[in-house]
Amino acid sequence: MARSDVHPRHKFETWQVWPGSFDNPPVDGIYPLADNSQLSITRATPIASLGSCFAREIKRKLLQRGYNYISEETHHPAAIHASAAWERVYSTFCMRQIFEYTFETWQPDLRWWIAPRSAKVQDPYRRTIIYDSIAEAEADFARHLKYSRRALEQAEVLILTLGLTEIWQDRIDQAVISLPSGPYVREGGDMSRYEFRVSRYAENLENLERIHDIMDKHNPGCKLLMTVSPVYLWATFRRDLDVISASCNSKSTLRAVTDEFTVRHDNVFYFPAFEMATIYQPLSGQTYFADGRENYHVNKATVKFIMRHFFDYYSKCQDGSKHD
């Protein structure tokens, strides 16, 4: 036990005290996770995931370790990042729309973008998925709905990785597009109906609560495991903040949201991938940023560090021993 030297004295577990402060043990390469998780994951547990760029790293490591990762729509290039062809999902708004179109009726006012010069058909709500015709797009999306539903209904654990708070929202029906990108944008498509804004705490929490309500109806036994992506913004659309400050705002907001969301529900858990990368790795004298052009990503060593703790933490039996 660690002990404070202030009056009155308090007794803390070592994981409650900053590493290396006073007489508390310094960093030793093992993140001081609280030993109180009620979530247990074995290699047989059906796991699904979706979210931002870091979700792809989680998927890759789960598959490498032989876990029962749900992989639907494997023929589709957009499924490389998640359990179905959701592509990368950066905001809680786009995440919420996935659950709504999968289990309910979700019909945005403008369903498809048509690129002005090439006439390519683009899905505004999934990151740069492109078709040659509307008929092809609608047929593929109809198939996607079946795969999406199957993935979410099978999952006993669903990992949601939150990325950012910047959104582009339709002024007419408030639907949120993935990103202003792809052939429609490059070829001068009309973006005047979309408004850029920074989403805030309450509405992001509302989106997660909506997701929880939908899953409670359609897969009530599923446990939600929340993470915040340690991948920072490559660029910000904000004109009032620099990219580093904008990144900090996004991550801070989403971290606060996940804390509130987690304490509200017995079947929601939080895994501190963000803290492991951005705080513990520097405390250990390690860099967590990748080299090269995409240096806002986390490096391979940090991903390995995070996922090693993930497996160690959640693969324990109730008696404290590890699953095979």
Quickly state the pLDDT bin for 305 (edges 50, 70, 90).
very high
- Percentage of the chain surpassing pLDDT 90? 85
What's the confidence (pLDDT) of residue 4? 58
Average pLDDT over residues 288-303: 93
What's the confidence (pLDDT) of residue 60? 92
When the pLDDT of each residue in the chain is averaged and rounded to a whole number, the result is 93
What's the confidence (pLDDT) of residue 321? 47
Does residue 71 have a pLDDT over 90? Answer: yes
- Percentage of the chain surpassing pLDDT 70? 95
Average pLDDT over residues 91-112: 97
Does residue 323 have a pLDDT over 70? Answer: no
Which residues are CB-neighbours of 134 under 8 A, at least 6 positions away?
Answer: 112, 121
What's the confidence (pLDDT) of residue 37? 76
Alpha-carbon gap, residue 109 to 101, rounded angstroms: 14
DSSP class of residue 80 equals G
For the stretch 169-228, pLDDT in tens is: 999 999 999 999 999 999 999 999 999 999 999 999 999 999 999 999 999 999 999 999
Closest Cα partner for 185 from 137, 128, 134, 132?
128
pLDDT-wise least confident of 5-14, 34-43, 142-151, 155-164:
5-14
Cβ atoms 66, 44 nearer than 8 A: no
Does residue 7 have a pLDDT over 90? Answer: no
Q: What pTM does this model have? A: 0.93
Sort 44 into a burial class: Cβ within 10 Å, 0-12 / 13-18 / 19+: exposed
Does residue 163 have a pLDDT over 60? Answer: yes
**Ramachandran quadrant class, 22 (left: phi over 0; alpha: psi -120 to 50; beta: rest):** left
Q: Which domains does the chain carry?
A: 46-314 (3.40.50)
Average pLDDT over residues 283-297: 93
